[in-house]
Chains A and B, each alone.
Chain A
Amino acid sequence: MTKERRQILIFLFFAAAVLVIPFFLKGSYFLNVLVFIGINTMLAVALNLLLGYAGQISLGHAAFFGLGAYISGILTTRFPVDPWLAMMLAGFCAAGLAFVIGFPILKLKGHYLAMATLGFGIIMYIIFNETVGWTGGPSGLSSIPNLHIGSLFFDNDWNNYYLIWIFTLGIMLLSINLSQSRIGRALRAIHDSEVAARVMGVNVRILKVQIFTVSALLSAVAGSLYAHTMTFISPVAFGFNFSVELVTMVIIGGLGSIYGSFLGAAILTLLPELLRVFQDFDIVIYGLMLILITMFMPGGLISGIETLAKFVVSRIRGKQSNA
């Protein structure tokens, strides 16, 4: 079986599992959690394109998530804009902003880039909090309308689940395609040796900005979906802590692995649910996870799983040839 065939099969299996799971779940609580996992997966995948592939750190990605949510929310509550159109505009605006600040910000490297994106994220958070006339400030923005296609309204857990996950699967598929293409190789080349990538003709500056823009666009779309399914948003969800959570998801799942982003998103969404006491320990645990995974398993949990899978398969093959 060729590598390509195997990858298509893995994705189909994953998609099938996603589409079928709701039938086996009892109660809307689980569906709700899975909806959150879906949104976080979209965000983690978007960040992974920038962080895992191109190797550019962003500590302010929650800002684009929030921007998408607020633009969608404002356009549909303060103005009579159709939610789908609002989503497109939200994505467009976030992409535009990313494109404009991308050029100066991505000239920075390493710690300076980290600080700059951190600063950007905080500026956006302050704006979300202070423009009370538009965003409702700390009390949030409510009564955001649901999305709908004709008479099919996405206003209950079941419909929301499929809405979110169709988008999530789509974004995962597009990202997987991208990672294995000419663009994906160019990004990974930038990550491994920027100077050699340039010498090979990769326009590093422009590609970094392009992927930053795509990443912002996807995050904003996720934000818009979040706004229309939750119907209520407030700045708290879009601050520095969430930006850090997103980086943690990408790192523990595995830099450069799309399925890893799903894994990271799932773990970080489930942990607070599984450990009620986790609430206070969350920051400490994130910090510890970042350190330990980066030091001891830089490929993230997905690489650990792959190694385990290879080990198991080789053992089985070994037994078969011995039998």
Chain B
Amino acid sequence: MDSSRQLLQYILSGLSNGAIYALIGFGFAIIHNATGIINFAQGEFVMLGGMLTIFFLVFLHLPLGPAIVLAITIATLVGIAFERLTIRPLKNVKPLNLIIITIGASIFIRGAAMLIWGKDTHALPAFSGNDPLYIAGATILPQHLWIFGISVLIIILNKVFFNYTIIGKAMRACAYNSYAASLVGIDVKTMVLLSFVISSAIGSMAGIIIAPLTMTSYDVGIMLGLKGFCAVIIGGMSSGLGTILGGLLLGLLESLGAGYISASYKDAIAFIILLLILFIRPEGLFKKKETERV
């Protein structure tokens, strides 16, 4: 009985981590599909979400709700500033230079966070307490329910936005062919900005809902960002089902690996998977192979 309970526990924590990776992955996909670049600083928005919320809670004594809203807003503003200052002015820069600039920006954000908040890890209090629930023999914390709930909400909003609203469809048009999109009157520059807004908002939200379970500090961005990237690579750079499956798969493999093979190599698992996917099937596991056009 005990081993199946343990398995269930691993699966549960794997899925909840996986949901977070999927959300972070969405951020990568949305920006990549709108601009063609990988936002190296995506992980930093996740970090900012958690850190800012703690800051507002602890130092400004705001209640949880407003703290979260304010944190997401500020993270989104940072995202806008990032797009304005580093991405927009650099349309004709060599790809290598663009990569270095985005890396520089992510380092800058992380360094600023370290200056402001120090190197300590902080704990965000769980949204609705820590009393565990017992379902099917596994221990579920209320925070897990929050994670699943909010993730599902974001996924649904995402789908509705991209498939049923004019703006969402305009963004998808830009992703397919920005030149054609501009010819039909879509303001590509605004779409790009919007992609950053959505990505930093989702990213920071992801950081907030996971923070009560895993501590947060100025440098969680690197790991979470890379794992989110891994999820979106598995999912084929889609901002939909592919990345969700990718994230969940990654979370599960990581959790099961940590539980049954080795806990200390847990982080390495995600990166080994990343390398394997990049080497063997870079277009992802859940995407049909596309013929390359001229």
A/B touching: CB–CB < 8 A: yes
Chain A interface (Cβ < 8 Å from any Cβ of B)? 55, 57, 59, 104-105, 107-112, 114-116, 118-120, 122-123, 126-127, 129-130, 240, 244, 247, 251, 280-291, 294-295, 298
> Is B275 among interface residues, defined by CB-CB distance under 8 A?
yes
* Of the residues B90, B99, B108, B226, contact of A287 by C-beta under 8 Å: B108
Bound form: Cα–Cα A79–B103 in Å: 41
Mask: chain B, 99-130; 1 = CB below 8 Å from A; 0 = not: 11101111111111011000000000000000
Contact B115 A281 (CB under 8 A): yes
- Beyond contacts A112-B278, A129-B264: 20 other A-B pairs, Cβ-Cβ < 8 A, are A57-B99, A104-B275, A105-B279, A108-B278, A108-B282, A109-B95, A112-B38, A114-B99, A115-B274, A119-B275, A123-B272, A126-B264, A127-B268, A281-B111, A283-B110, A286-B107, A290-B101, A291-B101, A294-B101, A295-B89
> Is B21 among interface residues, defined by CB-CB distance under 8 A?
no
Nearest residue (CB) in A for B222 is A240
Which residues of chain A come closer than 8 Å to B114, judged between CB atoms? 280, 283-284
Bound form: Cα–Cα A56–B278 in Å: 16
Contact A126 B265 (CB under 8 A): yes
Chain B interface (Cβ < 8 Å from any Cβ of A)? 37-38, 40, 86, 89-90, 95-97, 99-101, 103-112, 114-115, 222-223, 226, 229, 264-265, 267-268, 271-272, 274-275, 278-279, 282
Which residues of chain A come closer than 8 Å to B97, judged between CB atoms? 294, 298
Bound form: Cα–Cα A116–B279 in Å: 9
Which residues of chain A come closer than 8 Å to B110, judged between CB atoms? 283, 287
Contact B103 A290 (CB under 8 A): yes
Nearest residue (CB) in B for A116 is B278
Bound form: Cα–Cα A115–B102 in Å: 12
- Residue pairs across A and B with Cβ atoms less than 8 A apart, 15 shown, are A105-B278, A109-B95, A110-B38, A111-B99, A122-B267, A123-B271, A123-B275, A126-B265, A283-B108, A284-B111, A285-B111, A290-B100, A290-B103, A291-B105, A294-B100
The distance from the CB of B95 to the nearest CB of chain A, in whole angstroms, is 5
Pairs of residues from A and B, 6 with the lowest C-beta to C-beta distance, nearest first: A287-B108, A290-B104, A283-B111, A284-B111, A287-B107, A111-B38
Q: How many residue-residue contacts, CB under 8 A, span A and B? A: 117
The distance from the CB of A163 to the nearest CB of chain B, in whole angstroms, is 33
Which residues of chain B come closer than 8 Å to A295, judged between CB atoms? 89-90, 101
Nearest residue (CB) in A for B271 is A119
Bound form: Cα–Cα A285–B104 in Å: 9
Contact A287 B104 (CB under 8 A): yes
Contact A287 B95, CB 8 Å, known A114-B40, A251-B100, A295-B101 = no
Which residues of chain A come closer than 8 Å to B279, judged between CB atoms? 104-105, 107
Interface of chain A: mostly helix, strand, loop or mixed: helix
Contact B226 A118 (CB under 8 A): yes
Which residues of chain B come closer than 8 Å to A116, judged between CB atoms? 274-275, 278
* Of the residues A108, A111, A120, A285, contact of B37 by C-beta under 8 Å: A111
Contact A247 B96 (CB under 8 A): no
Which residues of chain A come closer than 8 Å to B89, judged between CB atoms? 295
The distance from the CB of B86 to the nearest CB of chain A, in whole angstroms, is 7
* Of the residues B38, B104, B106, B112, contact of A115 by C-beta under 8 Å: B38
Which residues of chain A come closer than 8 Å to B222, judged between CB atoms? 240
* Of the residues B37, B106, B108, B268, contact of A123 by C-beta under 8 Å: B268
The distance from the CB of A297 to the nearest CB of chain B, in whole angstroms, is 11
The distance from the CB of B35 to the nearest CB of chain A, in whole angstroms, is 11
Bound form: Cα–Cα A115–B223 in Å: 11
Contact A284 B37, CB 8 Å, known A123-B271, A247-B103 = no
Contact A110 B111, CB 8 Å, known A115-B274, A127-B268, A290-B104 = no
Contact B99 A110 (CB under 8 A): yes
Bound form: Cα–Cα A32–B279 in Å: 42
Bound form: Cα–Cα A126–B266 in Å: 9
Bound form: Cα–Cα A280–B111 in Å: 8
Bound form: Cα–Cα A320–B293 in Å: 61
The distance from the CB of B236 to the nearest CB of chain A, in whole angstroms, is 13
Contact A114 B103 (CB under 8 A): yes
Contact B282 A112 (CB under 8 A): yes
Nearest residue (CB) in B for A284 is B111
- Residue among B104, B111, B278 with the highest chain A CB neighbour number at 10 A: B104
* Of the residues A112, A244, A294, A298, contact of B107 by C-beta under 8 Å: A244
Contact A119 B104, CB 8 Å, known A281-B111, A281-B115, A294-B97 = no
Contact A284 B108 (CB under 8 A): yes
Bound form: Cα–Cα A120–B272 in Å: 8
- Residue among A108, A115, A120, A129 with the highest chain B CB neighbour number at 10 A: A115
Contact A280 B278 (CB under 8 A): no
The distance from the CB of A117 to the nearest CB of chain B, in whole angstroms, is 10
The distance from the CB of B251 to the nearest CB of chain A, in whole angstroms, is 17
The distance from the CB of B114 to the nearest CB of chain A, in whole angstroms, is 6
Which residues of chain B come closer than 8 Å to A291, judged between CB atoms? 86, 101, 104-105, 108
* Of the residues B104, B106, B115, contact of A288 by C-beta under 8 Å: B104
Bound form: Cα–Cα A57–B114 in Å: 26
